[in-house]
């Protein structure tokens, strides 16, 4: 089959690789019909998460069940399914606590309690390096999906792929940020990053009754899309007085909720880059720190942008002085997906209005390039095998 294969930093090509097979009785093989490129894929593409062997990328995918292992009872051959990005067993301690990204059974070689750079990672993720289980991903014609009685959800007839594809990751991820912040209605929510994840967090904030939603990015075209599809207010991240502006917009207090939907690959000054080299840091924690500044006393910060290393001078004093509650982490997609499926099918939210590029899988390399470099007004790339 053909698949988008990561070879080394900046080098993804569509190659012929072996077809996946059922390896375990709870596996299924899915014939992929749609798959997307994610900001998280860029962390591998850019070398922030190390991967030394070739790897089929992709954790946002859906398709038709082609083959099932003997113990699979929740889906059958011919079903159309969307698949949550965390590989999770559904019955371990963490799965039972609705924490599927911490599954104890999906990353046997590198799993552990440490959560360090190279040691003791969480559960497996599709197409996300050997440290996260070494699973071949779904930017491919076919993909093996383990634990098929827990992850995949069947898509009803009459619904297009594009309507539900983002239930695999980015809509539940945006929702996670808003749910962690316990948005109940009327809050001012400031979302740093207006890429696909930020755009989904904006949608989730409105769905949960936010009073104001303010989007921040460095790319004017992404803010324009945010204003257009999500009717949010916007601020330019280049603005030297960004934090002051947020205070002004919030009676001098700061926002009730701030979301970091950027992560460690935020744009950096030369000084930031030197500091990172000296301190052996990956990228920068600047946006997370912006959130701590911009949030009000007693407010909440959700960090869904990805971080992969420790940071020196972490502003713990500010967290203490302002009594900020922070929650970090990967999205527990399986926890939210059914509820979000319903909202989507009921037409309460539209997800596909963020797609800027539809390309054949064979053009995956081009898709990675324009998504990374933010060329051609690229927001979200959907690939079809």
Name the binder of 36 from ligand NAD, Zn ion, none, CB < 5-8 A by kind.
none
Q: Which residue stretch of 3-11, 260-268, 314-322, 361-369 sits at the interface with ligand NAD (rule: CB under 6 A)?
A: 260-268
- Dump the DSSP string for 232-295: -EEEETT-TTHHHHHHHHTTTT-EEEEEE-S-TT----HHHHHHHHHTT--S--HHHHHHHHHE
Tell me the β-bridge partners of 67: 29
What, of ligand NAD, Zn ion, none, does residue 92 touch, CB below 5 to 8 Å by kind?
Zn ion
Q: Give, as ranges, the residues between 288 and 317 that touch ligand NAD (CB under 6 A).
A: 304-306
Pick one of Zn ion, ligand NAD, none as the site partner of residue 121 (Cβ within 5 to 8 A by kind): none
- Residue 196 C-beta: closest distance to ligand NAD, Å: 4
Does residue 38 touch Zn ion according to CB under 5 A?
Answer: yes
- Residue of the chain from 84, 123, 138, 196 that contacts ligand NAD (CB under 6 A): 196
> And the tokens for 69?
């292992």
Report if residue 193 touches ligand NAD, rule: CB under 6 A. yes
Does the footprint of ligand NAD cover residue 81 (CB under 6 A)?
A: no
Pairwise CA distance, residues 12 & 47, whole Å: 12
Applying CB under 6 A, does 267 fall inside the site for ligand NAD?
yes
Q: Which residue of 198, 283, 299, 367 would you call a contact of ligand NAD, by CB under 6 A? A: 198
Q: How far is the CB of 92 from ligand NAD (least distance, A)?
A: 19
Least Cβ distance, residue 280 to ligand NAD (angstroms):
20
Largest CA distance in the chain: 61
Cβ proximity to ligand NAD: between 89 and 331 the closer is: 331
Q: Nearer to ligand NAD by C-beta: 2 or 212? A: 212
Q: Quick check: 216 binds ligand NAD (CB under 6 A)?
A: yes
Of 34, 35, 40, 68, which lies in the binding site for Zn ion, with binding defined by CB under 5 A?
A: 40
Site for ligand NAD contains 51 (CB under 6 A): no
Q: Are 3 and 141 in contact (CB under 8 A)?
A: yes
In 10 A of CB 124, how many CB atoms?
A: 27
Burial tier of 31 (Cβ tally within 10 Å: 0-12, 13-18, 19+):
middle
User: What is the C-alpha to C-alpha distance for residues 28 and 381, in angstroms, rounded to an integer?
Assistant: 26
Strand partners, 30: 65, 143
Restricting to residues 235-264, which ones interact with Zn ion according to CB under 5 A? none
Residue 207: both structure tokens together? 């769905």
* Coil vs helix vs strand at 120: coil
| SS3 at position 190 | strand
The token pair that represents 106 in the structure block? 């999906």
Tell me the backbone φ, ψ of residue 9, rounded to 5 degrees: -50, 125
Q: Where do contacts with ligand NAD occur on this chain (CB under 6 A)? A: 38-40, 42-43, 169-170, 173, 192-198, 216-219, 222, 237, 261-263, 266-267, 287, 304-306, 330-331
Q: Where do contacts with Zn ion occur on this chain (CB under 5 A)? A: 38, 40, 60, 88-89, 92, 95, 103, 105, 169
């Amino acid at each position: 089959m053909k698949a988008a294969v990561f070879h080394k930093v900046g080098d993804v090509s569509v190659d012929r690789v072996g077809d996946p097979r059922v390896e375990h009785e709870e596996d299924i093989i899915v014939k992929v019909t749609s798959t997307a490129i994610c900001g998280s894929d860029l962390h591998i593409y850019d070398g922030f998460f190390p991967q030394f062997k070739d790897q089929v990328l992709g954790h946002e995918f859906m398709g038709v069940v082609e083959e099932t292992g003997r113990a699979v009872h929740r889906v059958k051959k011919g079903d159309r399914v969307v698949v949550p990005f965390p590989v999770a067993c559904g019955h371990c301690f963490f799965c039972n606590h609705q924490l599927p990204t911490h599954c104890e059974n999906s990353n046997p070689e590198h799993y552990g309690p440490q959560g360090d750079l190279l040691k003791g990672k969480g559960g497996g993720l599709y197409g996300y390096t050997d440290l996260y289980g070494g699973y071949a991903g779904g930017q491919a014609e076919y993909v093996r999906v383990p634990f098929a009685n827990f992850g995949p959800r069947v898509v009803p007839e009459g619904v297009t792929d594009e309507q539900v594809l983002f239930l695999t990751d980015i809509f539940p991820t945006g929702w996670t940020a808003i749910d962690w912040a316990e948005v109940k209605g009327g809050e001012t929510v400031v979302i740093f990053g207006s890429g696909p994840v930020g755009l989904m967090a904006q949608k989730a904030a409105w769905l949960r009754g936010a009073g104001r939603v303010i989007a921040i990015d460095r790319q004017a075209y992404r803010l324009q899309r945010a204003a257009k599809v999500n009717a949010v207010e916007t601020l330019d991240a280049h603005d030297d007085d960004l934090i002051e502006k947020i205070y002004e917009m919030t009676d001098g207090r700061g926002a009730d909720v701030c979301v970091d939907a950027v992560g460690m690959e935020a744009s950096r000054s030369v000084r930031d880059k030197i500091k990172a080299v000296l301190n052996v840091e990956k990228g920068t924690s600047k946006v997370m720190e912006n959130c701590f500044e911009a949030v009000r006393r007693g407010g909440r910060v959700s960090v869904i942008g990805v971080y992969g290393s420790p940071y020196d001078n972490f502003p713990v004093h500010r967290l203490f002085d302002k009594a900020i509650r922070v929650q970090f982490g990967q999205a527990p997609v399986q926890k939210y997906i059914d509820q979000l499926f319903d909202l989507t099918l009921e037409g309460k939210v539209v997800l596909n209005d963020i797609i800027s590029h539809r390309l054949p899988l064979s053009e995956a390399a081009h898709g990675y390039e324009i998504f990374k470099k933010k060329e051609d007004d690229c927001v979200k790339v959907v690939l079809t095998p």
